[in-house]
Structure formats: structure tokens, C-alpha cells
């Protein structure tokens, strides 16, 4: 076996400081210098960054049973508990089995009308020539959609009440994941107190809804919470308790609100800076939808809008980096990975590979026409992860993004606020636009 190479690091920190300073640039240089796999060290942790699609597939699919979620990712467990995002082994399999009916394509399609209604009400508040903080708008719309489809709640201007605690918890968890020394949560530092306060606010909201809903007949609602409350585990006929439902609800809040909002924000930014693509999308929307409100049958026909979303997910995948920890000694390709060592995968760098994507740093939605994805290895493009832990909400996210983007473009044209406007990517747990993503909206 050839020796796996990687960048030389500092004596104590290894490559961690360089990674923390600019994660995306660090990963990009790994791809440039080492191509398929690189060995790095974050303090005392040995990590193999897998960049070859075949190696990624082997770790995520073929030998998935030899890995579990990396320990660093479990810094968000105080927020999401032992939900689908963080659970392992038999617990994860049971939860996924119970959650699957909530996210079947046929079930998700029932939420199209709610998605359209929330998006339309939000966009109706926009004024001609407004300068909008598009990332805040998309966070509010995504949060409104999650609240409506999860809890049958109408949430207006909800970013401060629910979105802000999620933001606080995400920033603190990201900082801890990248730290050499982590102060235990039980020690009352100002940051730990802020983290606990954010979770307390969210717990009050979610437990309050669950408690109220248990007093009502399940038949009164057809939302995700109703499905969770009445779903039985087919193996032992048991239901989820309040703690399990809270954990799953919080996981859906985090995954369904944060990631989809970021995906839609990036798509609108790319459309604003590529007016010819935006015009082509609007022509399709005018042809398919006209002046009607967006419905499921429209969304299914908006193929170019979906290509835009796929291309945006290629350039700015919200789940830009994730990892696994080996639970026993395992070989991936010719790499001998010991139990306790880590592997990292980055859709961000795989998606920008010149080997599989022509002009990889250029926004070209047309590349997704036809059977393009069948011409490249499966894990050259994997915005929703893969294997047994592939994102359970991928159909939900794609339908939501299609409806929201089409609703915006049906009524408005988006453009940069100033010439040559660029937005920096901020790699937290998800890949966000840094700061306010300001765009001007012009009524059509």
C-alpha cells in the first residue's frame, strides 16, 4: 500500500489552525495537491479526506456499517437530542423506519399547497425596487413552511422568535466543533449560558405544541407531527414518546429550515448575477404557471428551475462537509483506517472537480439537462449525502425550493444592489452566505 500523504501541520494543532482560518480554501488546496485522498491531523485526530467518488461511495454505502457519525458532529446533540441526525446503530434504524412514512414522495406532495401559500404571502409584502436581505427572507419563508407542514402553525416574522435561537445554537456548536479545547456545557460560561437559553426557548415551543396536540384527536391534523404521533414501530408496535418526538421535531427544524433556506438564498444570488439564466427561468414559469398560484402540477413541470436548484446545490451545497468515525479497522480502497480514526467528505470540493464538471466554478444550469447525472460517478455529486444516512428530507427540500423560487420569479426580477456584487460563503455547520445577502427586487 502506498503511503497516504497530506499537508505538514503544526506540532500540537496539526492542520487544525489552517483549516479553521479558511476551511474552503484548505479543502480546495487538498483537492489540488492530493486529488483522491489526503491525510490530515487535527490535534490528536487522524483524518482521511476522501475526494475520489469511488472511495466516498465505499465509505458511505458499501462499508457504512464500519462507521458512525463523527464525535465532533455530536456537539449539536444538546440541540437535536438523539434525533435522526445524531443517533446510531439500531436506534437510528428504528427511527428511520418510523420517520420514513412522513417523508415519502406521495406524502410530501400533499404539502405543496402549504408551501405555495407561505411563499406567496411572504412575497406579497415586497415592494417594487425594495432592497431585501434575501437570506433573512428565505430563512423566514423556510421556517414558515416547516411550522406549517410540521405543526400546522402560521408563523409570521418568525426569525427572531424561533430562527434566532437556532442561529445562536448553530454558531456556538460550530465554534466548539473547531476548537482544540471545549469547555463542558455544565460550566456556566457566558457562551454555554447563551446556548442553553436558546435550547430552552425552542424546548418550550416544541414541548408546548406536543402537549397540546396529545389532547386532540389525531384525525384533526395531517401534518408531520400528526404522523409522528400516530406512527408505530412495526417490530414492537410502540409509539414515540415526547422526548423522541421533540428530538425528531428539532432535527427537522434544523435540517428543514437552515439547509433549504441557504439553498434558496444561494440560488437567488446566482440568478441575480446571471440575468440570462433568470430570464430563461421566468419564461418557463410564465409558460407553465402563467398568473396562477403555484401548485404541485406546475412544480413537476418546471424542469429548468429544478436544473437551477441542482446547479446551485453543486456550487454551494448547504451540507458542505461531514464526517464519519471508524468503529472497527476497515479498508477503504487501499487505505487502512484504524478504529477511532476519521474520514471526511466534502460535497463542496467534489462538486467543483474538473474531472467531472466542465467549467466547474461556473454557474451553468444546462449541465443538468437530460441524463447528465448518469454520466458521472454517483458520489461526484451528492448534495444530500448518501448511503443509509442519505437526507430523508431530500424530496421535501427539492419541492420547497422549486415552489419558492418559482413564486419569487413569477412576481419579481432579482438583481445585485451594486455592480460586481459578490457574496462570501460562510462555512458553519451549513454553508451560508456571510452577512446580509442584499438583492434588489423589481416587480415584473
Binding residues: 391
Are the C-beta atoms of residues 323 and 340 closer than 8 Å to each other? Answer: no
- Please report, in range form, the residues annotated as the binding site for heme: 391
Sign of the alpha-carbon torsion through 103, 206, 70, 176 = positive
Task: Compute the distance between CA of residue 129 and CA of residue 289 in angstroms, rounded to an integer.
Answer: 24
Question: What is the C-alpha end-to-end distance of the chain, expressed in Å?
Answer: 61
Are the C-beta atoms of residues 343 and 36 closer than 8 Å to each other? Answer: no
Other C-beta atoms closer than 10 Å to the C-beta of 97 total 13
Other C-beta atoms closer than 10 Å to the C-beta of 353 total 17
* DSSP secondary structure letters along 228-254: HHHPBPTTT-PBP-HHHHHHHHHHHHI
Where are the alpha helices (H) located in 289-377, listed in sequence order? 296-301, 303-315, 347-350
Other C-beta atoms closer than 10 Å to the C-beta of 12 total 10
Residue 360's nearest CA partner among 125, 36, 110, 28 is 28
HSE-CB for 125 with a 13 A CA cutoff: 10
Q: Given the DSSP bridges, would you call strands 45-50 and 342-345 parallel, antiparallel or unpaired?
A: parallel
Task: Compute the distance between CA of residue 319 and CA of residue 245 in angstroms, rounded to an integer.
Answer: 24
What lies within 8 Å, CB to CB, of 44 at 6+ separation is none
How long is the chain?
Answer: 444
Other C-beta atoms closer than 10 Å to the C-beta of 10 total 12
Amino acid at each position: 500500500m502506498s503511503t497516504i500523504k497530506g499537508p505538514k501541520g503544526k506540532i500540537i494543532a496539526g492542520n487544525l489552525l489552517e483549516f479553521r482560518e479558511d476551511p474552503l480554501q484548505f479543502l480546495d488546496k487538498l483537492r489540488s495537491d492530493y486529488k483522491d485522498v489526503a491525510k490530515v491531523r487535527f490535534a490528536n485526530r487522524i483524518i482521511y479526506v476522501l475526494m475520489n467518488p469511488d472511495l466516498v461511495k465505499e465509505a458511505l454505502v458499501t462499508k457504512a456499517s464500519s462507521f458512525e457519525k463523527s464525535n465532533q458532529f455530536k456537539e449539536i446533540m444538546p440541540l437535536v437530542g438523539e434525533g435522526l441526525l445524531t443517533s446510531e446503530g439500531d436506534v437510528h434504524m428504528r427511527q428511520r423506519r418510523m420517520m420514513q412514512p412522513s417523508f415519502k414522495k406521495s406524502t410530501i406532495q400533499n404539502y405543496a399547497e402549504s408551501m405555495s401559500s407561505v411563499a406567496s404571502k411572504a412575497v406579497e409584502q415586497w415592494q417594487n425596487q425594495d432592497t431585501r436581505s434575501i437570506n433573512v427572507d428565505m430563512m423566514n419563508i423556510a421556517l414558515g413552511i416547516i411550522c406549517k407542514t410540521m405543526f400546522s402553525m402560521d408563523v409570521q416574522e418568525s426569525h427572531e422568535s424561533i430562527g434566532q435561537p437556532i442561529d445562536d445554537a448553530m454558531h456556538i456548536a460550530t465554534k466548539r466543533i473547531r476548537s482544540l479545547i471545549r469547555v463542558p456545557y455544565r460550566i456556566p460560561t457566558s457562551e454555554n449560558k447563551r446556548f442553553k437559553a436558546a435550547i430552552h426557548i425552542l424546548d418550550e415551543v416544541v414541548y408546548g405544541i406536543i402537549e397540546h396536540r396529545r389532547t386532540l384527536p389525531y384525525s384533526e391534523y395531517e401534518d408531520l407531527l400528526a404522523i409522528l404521533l400516530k406512527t408505530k414501530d412495526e417490530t414492537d408496535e410502540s409509539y414515540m414518546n415526547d422526548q423522541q418526538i421533540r428530538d425528531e421535531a428539532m432535527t427537522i427544524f434544523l435540517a428543514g429550515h437552515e439547509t433549504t433556506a441557504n439553498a434558496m438564498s444561494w440560488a437567488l444570488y446566482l440568478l441575480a448575477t446571471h440575468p440570462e439564466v433568470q430570464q430563461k427561468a421566468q419564461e418557463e414559469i410564465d409558460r407553465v404557471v402563467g398568473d396562477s398560484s403555484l401548485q404541485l402540477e406546475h412544480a413537476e413541470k418546471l424542469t429548468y428551475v429544478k436544473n437551477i436548484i441542482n446547479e446551485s446545490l453543486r456550487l454551494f451545497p448547504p451540507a458542505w462537509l461531514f464526517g464519519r468515525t471508524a468503529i472497527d479497522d476497515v479498508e477503504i480502497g487501499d487505505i487502512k483506517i484504524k478504529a477511532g480514526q476519521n474520514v471526511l467528505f466534502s460535497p463542496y470540493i467534489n462538486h467543483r472537480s474538473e474531472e467531472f464538471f466542465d467549467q466547474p466554478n461556473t454557474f451553468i444550469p444546462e449541465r443538468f439537462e437530460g441524463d447528465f447525472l448518469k454520466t458521472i460517478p454517483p458520489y461526484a455529486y451528492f448534495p444530500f449525502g448518501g448511503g443509509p444516512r442519505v437526507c430523508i428530507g431530500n424530496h421535501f427540500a427539492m419541492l420547497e425550493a422549486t415552489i419558492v423560487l418559482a413564486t419569487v420569479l413569477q412576481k419579481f426580477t432579482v438583481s445585485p444592489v451594486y455592480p460586481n456584487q459578490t457574496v462570501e460563503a460562510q462555512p458553519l455547520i451549513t454553508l451560508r452566505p456571510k452577512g446580509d445577502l442584499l438583492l434588489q427586487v423589481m416587480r415584473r
